[in-house]
Amino acid sequence: MTDENERPRPEDDAARLGLVVVGEAAALHAGDDASLDASEANIRETVDSMVDEPLTPRQEEVMERLAAAGGTLTAGLSGALAAKTGGQVEDVLEGAARSVVWQQRLAAERDALQGQPQESTDGDPATDGDPATDSDPVEDQREDAGGQQRHRDDDGRDRG
């Protein structure tokens, strides 16, 4: 939690934007107007919540187009990776979202080790830096966007 005078960590803002881009990519792959409209609304709401002063109409348009372009690139790359590996686009996008969240957590842990404030705007409780109380061995296994650490059977399903 943050109080009203405390600014969010840049890593938290970057993670939120990264998840917006992954959401735009998922909406593009879904291909329906409702998903695309919801993604555009999410882009606007996220950017609006991050700025200190209202954006000019031109700045708002540029930010929306940047997020949409990032989503387009993410959609294309995730589709290409899924085709190359024989996986599903949804799995690639899920892995990308996990990677964004993981990077945010790593930044929070780094800040904690350096004595920086550990508050985060993502709703997760802050850690105290003590591995004995902070770590869950299953949750701490790093998964990346390609899902290389997953073990899959011949049908592409997770073996667990």
Q: How confident is the model at residue 8 (pLDDT cuts 50, 70, 90)?
A: confident
- Percent pLDDT > 70 in the chain is 68
Interaxial angle between packed helices 33-50 and 10-30, expressed in degrees from 0 to 180 and rounded to the nearest 10:
170
Averaged over 119-135, what is the pLDDT? 47
Please list the residues that pair with 158 across neighbouring strands. 152
For the full predicted model, state whether its pTM sits above 0.75. no
Q: How confident is the model at residue 156 (pLDDT cuts 50, 70, 90)?
A: low
Q: How confident is the model at residue 15 (pLDDT cuts 50, 70, 90)?
A: very high
Long-range contacts of 84-92 (CB under 8 A, 24+ apart): 85/146, 86/156, 87/147, 87/156, 88/156, 89/29, 90/26, 90/29, 91/147, 92/145, 92/146, 92/147
